[in-house]
């Protein structure tokens, strides 16, 4: 008489269920370790912070004194690696640029740096689609301080809410304008300090930092504008 297969079938089903639960648990664990928590900064600046956090965490285990792991120290290294700082010989090696971005414009400038490497796209105004010059500045100002700028570079330069300033008065967070298309205010970027600015340059390139003192930019500089960032940051959000 043939043996009943019912117990075997029940055992097989139970084994499948256990395996499925184990696979699900493993997937949840992997997602928890690979998905950054909400609010985590991505991009070049975010990666710099994450890499430094890992180094700081491993330092005590290696028998070395732990290095400061706060955001400001990571910012110092991030700027220094890209030639954005100028050491002034003070104790601790602090830089004028780092000190200057720790003010009202701090969030704006560092937010802009987080988009280094995002491709240039004509008419683009988002990370997904890429940025053109004015799309980049508009996105950064709105995202960082809630100030909605006009869409085009020449419109931003003529915006009555922005103050016209001289080149020797530049501070981090100011908008800097250039004549790159044989017309005034045809290109715009954000000043980051020490003669450097961040911008979305042209087709085939990506958001990057350049030196305004280079001959190409120096002879094309046409003006700068400053927003009241404190007022913008304190203003209620209207959508």
- Domain range annotation of the chain: 105-234
Is residue 147 pLDDT above 90, yes or no? Answer: yes
Span of 30-34, 57-61, 187-191 with lowest mean pLDDT: 30-34
Is residue 217 pLDDT above 80, yes or no? Answer: yes
Q: In whole angstroms, give the CA distance from residue 17 to residue 9.
A: 12
Q: In whole angstroms, give the CA distance from residue 212 to residue 205.
A: 18
User: Cβ(194)–Cβ(97) under 8 Å?
Assistant: yes
Is residue 204 pLDDT above 90, yes or no? Answer: yes
Does the active-site annotation cover 24? no
Pairing of strands 196-199, 187-193: antiparallel
Q: How does 129-153 read in b/e, with b if 16+ C-beta sit within 10 Å?
A: ebbbbbbbbbbbbeebbebebeebb
Is residue 191 pLDDT above 70, yes or no? Answer: yes
Does the active-site annotation cover 139? no
Binned at pLDDT 50, 70 and 90, residue 107 comes out as confident
Q: Which residue among the candidates 21, 24, 139, 199 is catalytic per the annotation?
A: 199
Give 178 or 74, the one with higher predicted confidence: 178
Average pLDDT over every residue of 155-166: 96
pTM of the model: 0.61
Is residue 160 pLDDT above 80, yes or no? Answer: yes
What is the second-level CATH architecture of the domain 105-234?
Alpha-Beta Complex (3.90)
Query: In the structure encoding, which two tokens stand for residue 233, read together?
Result: 């940051």
Q: Please give the backbone phi and psi of residue 131, each rounded to the nearest 5 degrees, phi first.
A: -125, 150
Query: In the structure encoding, which two tokens stand for residue 88, read together?
Result: 């002034």
Q: How does 102-118 read in b/e, with b if 16+ C-beta sit within 10 Å?
A: eebbbbbbbbbbbbbeb
> What integer pLDDT is reported at residue 95 of this predicted model?
53
């Amino acid at each position: 008489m043939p043996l009943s297969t019912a117990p075997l079938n029940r055992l097989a089903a139970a084994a499948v269920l256990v395996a499925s639960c184990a696979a699900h648990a493993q997937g949840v664990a992997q997602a928890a370790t690979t998905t950054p928590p909400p609010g985590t900064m991505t991009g070049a600046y975010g990666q710099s912070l994450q890499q430094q956090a890992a180094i700081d965490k491993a330092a005590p285990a290696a028998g070395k004194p732990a290095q400061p792991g706060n955001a400001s120290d990571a910012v110092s290294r991030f700027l220094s690696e890209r030639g954005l700082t100028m050491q002034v010989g003070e104790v601790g090696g602090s830089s004028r640029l780092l000190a200057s971005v720790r003010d009202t414009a701090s969030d704006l400038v560092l937010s802009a740096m987080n988009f280094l490497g995002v491709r240039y796209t004509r008419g683009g105004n988002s990370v997904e689609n890429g940025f053109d010059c004015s799309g980049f500045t508009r996105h950064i100002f709105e995202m960082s301080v809630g100030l909605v700028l006009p869409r085009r570079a020449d419109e931003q330069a003529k915006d009555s809410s922005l103050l016209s300033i001289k080149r020797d008065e530049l501070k981090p967070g100011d908008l800097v304008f250039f004549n790159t298309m044989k017309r005034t205010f045809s290109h715009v970027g954000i000043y980051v300090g020490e003669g450097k600015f961040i911008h979305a340059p042209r087709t085939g390139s990506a958001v990057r930092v350049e030196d305004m003192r280079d001959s190409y930019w120096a002879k094309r500089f046409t003006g700068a504008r400053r927003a009241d960032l404190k007022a913008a940051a304190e203003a209620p959000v209207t959508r």
